[in-house]
Structure 1
Amino acid sequence: MSLSYLQMGDIVYAAVDIHNDDEGGIPVLEAGELIATAGTRGVVVNIGHAEEDPKQKLLLVRFELPDSSLGAPTGCLPEEIATEKPVFGSRE
């Protein structure tokens, strides 16, 4: 999915569980700590590219926390986010 039409301020959803990378890219979180479960709503706060690979698009997303505040900005690859909330089947 290209998601090239996304702009700052757009609402997105985690398409997969998103964790802090093993190097601890978000210093206020432990390495490997869960940032957002699949389906968590977030907002795009910046759009750029990976420093190591300028062709690789990155979206900076702040995901909603359980208290409805926004978490730390998180770098996401386009395949890690979706524009519609994923449906995971019935949980009833």
Structure 2
Amino acid sequence: MRVEDLDIGDIVYAATTIIDDGSMPEGMEGEILAEAGTRGVITMIGHVEEQPERSVFLVRFEDKEMNLGNPIGCWVDDLMVEPKLIN
């Protein structure tokens, strides 16, 4: 399954460490929003108005206590369907 095939309520994982690029309201540029491999849930799916073919996913990632954080806008490349196994 591909990220593009997922829907609201589906579980995803951060493919890489997601860092605030300065666009998060009340956020700090450079702050880590989700470590690579962190589990999250899709809460909304949309697209960029200027690029309707480019999907953006709002995802709430779990913190260390397994509480869901604030929604984060993620591109397809930021997400993966299954966690990577570390040997």
* TM-score normalised over the length of structure 2: 0.89
Identity of aligned residues (%): 45
Displacement, 1:2? 4.9
Q: Does 1:5 align with 2:5?
A: yes
Aligned-residue CA RMSD in angstroms?
1.6
Residue correspondence of structure 1 range 26-65 to structure 2 within 5 A: 26-65=24-63
Q: For residues 35 and 3 of structure 1, do their structure 2 counterparts lie closer, same or farther at Cα, with a shift above 3 Å needed?
A: same
Q: List, as ranges, runs of 4+ consecutive aligned residues in structure 1 with deviation greater than 6 Å.
A: none
How many residues are treated as equivalent by the alignment?
A: 87
C-alpha separation in 2, matches of 1:28 and 1:15: 24
Unaligned 5+ segments in structure 1 are none
**Amino acid in the other structure paired with 1:9:** G
Which residue of structure 2 aligns with residue 67 of structure 1?
65
CA contact (8 A) 1:26 1:72 kept: no
Question: Alignment partner of 1:4: what SS?
Answer: helix
Aligned to 1:18: 18
The answer (yes or no) to whether the contact 1:63–1:70 under 8 Å persists in 2 is yes
Deviation at 1:44, TM superposition (A): 0.2
Query: For residue 64 of structure 1, what is the amino acid of its counterpart?
Result: E
Q: Is the 8 A contact 2:2 2:81 kept in 1?
A: no
Structure 2: 5+ residue stretches without partners: none
Report the TM-score, using the length of structure 1 for normalisation.
0.84
Q: Distance in 1 between matches of 2:11 and 2:77?
A: 15
